[in-house]
Amino acid sequence: MLMRAAVLRTRGLPVPYSQSLPLEITEVSLDPPGPGEVLVRIRAAGLCHSDLSVIDGNRLRPVPMVLGHEAAGEVVAVGAGVDEFAARDHVISTFVPSCGACKPCIAGRPALCDPALVANSAGTLLTGARRLREKSGGDIHHHLGVSAFAEYAVVSKHSLVKIDRALPFDRAAVFGCAVITGVGAVINTAKVPPQASVAVIGLGGVGLAALIGARRLQASPLIAVDLSDEKLAAARALGATDTFNASNAECADQIRSATGGGVEFAFEMAGSTRALELAYKITKRGGTTVTAGLPHPQAMFAIPQVTLVAEERTLKGSYLGSCIPSRDIPTYIAWHRAGELPVEQLLSEHVKLEDINAAFDRLASGKTVRQVVMF
């Protein structure tokens, strides 16, 4: 079938993207789903820094590629061997398809699925297949097994979670990346107990999701840190008890003073070495620093090694929020319905596919939280 899609052909084009146009809106061909695969009509797809990092060249993925990994849609058809989904089901995509059979999956750590790492790096589906093609016949790569900036997608059944049809598509989409990454870092990776002191650095979609996850646990104090006063205001509206602008050279000292030596849990969600340095500085003795940001692969982070020992500090990475998507996404949706995770407040605006380059300019400038392409 032919469909419209946003295709990245050249990495590292200059900003503004509204002029350099790294994403070409064009017709591409999509093959039918193979065994274990599902054809999904994409209804909403969020713009994430993981997409931006491929556009700007910080994450080296093969091109041409249809980007987009945070999505919700409706099942159109299924391939052989798919019993979990049927036409008209509503689904959310996840950006790590867990095979369920490798050692990390068996151990309950599907974010580290071995076959998924190979497939995502190569730009294929979990089986190693590609279903996207140029009209002339050449292959187009998949982004994280999803490629959601398109009218339709063929994905592995292991990349999908079935949801209730009552959840609006724009809200549903953000559960596939922003929510499971942010809330999951709080719940699964750090295992924050109720009423612990928490700081979140970097208030994009993932950071604000972590904030509302910590608020659900009645974190106190709940500190938000960013370079944008507008995002700090949004954090206060979402329950932050204290906010600090990271551009202030005294930011770390101010936070340590306000918290009596630092917080028990600090989350770095900006994908910045400087942000991680700040997070580590404001973590108190015996505390835990968690990073879920994705910096450039060559970025290095240095700490005083003695603090890990003498202060019994913990430094952890978090990918996919250390989630088991089939378990955690329904749980987080239930919390949302109970009013405990106001994910609708993460949504900045709806955009059209043809306006996606300008939307990435807004994301790159830090002037937005979560924009969603609606189909």
Specify whether the CB–CB gap between 112 and 317 falls below 8 A.
no
Statement to judge: residues 242 and 120 lie in one domain = no
pLDDT of residue 297: 87
Specify whether the CB–CB gap between 63 and 16 falls below 8 A.
no
pLDDT of residue 367: 86
Statement to judge: residues 329 and 312 lie in one domain = no
Q: Which domain holds residue 109?
A: 2-177+323-374
Write the CB contacts of 342 (distance below 8 Å, at least 6 apart in sequence): 212, 238, 336
The answer to whether residue 340 sits within a structural domain is yes
Statement to judge: residues 350 and 262 lie in one domain = no
Considering only CA atoms, which of 53, 105, 113 is closest in space to residue 293? 53
Statement to judge: residues 106 and 230 lie in one domain = no
Task: Give the whole-angstrom CA distance, residue 263 versus residue 316.
Answer: 15
- From 317, 348, 363, give the residue that closes a domain: 317
pLDDT of residue 296: 87
What CATH number did the domain enclosing 103 receive? 3.90.180.10
Statement to judge: residues 157 and 39 lie in one domain = yes
Which segments in the chain show pLDDT lower than 50? none
The answer to whether residue 216 sits within a structural domain is yes
pTM (global) more than 0.95: yes
- From 292, 317, 342, give the residue that closes a domain: 317
What CATH number did the domain enclosing 238 receive? 3.40.50.720
The answer to whether residue 184 sits within a structural domain is no
The answer to whether residue 8 sits within a structural domain is yes
Task: Give the whole-angstrom CA distance, residue 152 versus residue 162.
Answer: 17
Statement to judge: residues 131 and 173 lie in one domain = yes
Statement to judge: residues 198 and 172 lie in one domain = no
Task: Give the whole-angstrom CA distance, residue 214 versus residue 341.
Answer: 10
pLDDT of residue 285: 97
pLDDT of residue 146: 98
Statement to judge: residues 203 and 306 lie in one domain = yes
Statement to judge: residues 137 and 263 lie in one domain = no
The answer to whether residue 185 sits within a structural domain is no
The answer to whether residue 44 sits within a structural domain is yes
pLDDT of residue 94: 97
The answer to whether residue 102 sits within a structural domain is yes
Task: Give the whole-angstrom CA distance, residue 263 versus residue 107.
Answer: 31
When divided into structural domains, the chain yields a total of 2
Written as six digits, the tokens of 350 are 């709806």
> In a 3-state reduction of DSSP, which class is residue 313?
coil
Task: Give the whole-angstrom CA distance, residue 345 versus residue 179.
Answer: 12
Statement to judge: residues 35 and 134 lie in one domain = yes
Statement to judge: residues 171 and 37 lie in one domain = yes
Task: Give the whole-angstrom CA distance, residue 248 versus residue 281.
Answer: 14
Query: What value does the CA radius of gyration of the chain take, rounded to a whole number of Å?
Result: 20
Task: Give the whole-angstrom CA distance, residue 346 versus residue 68.
Answer: 18
Statement to judge: residues 224 and 195 lie in one domain = yes
The answer to whether residue 186 sits within a structural domain is no
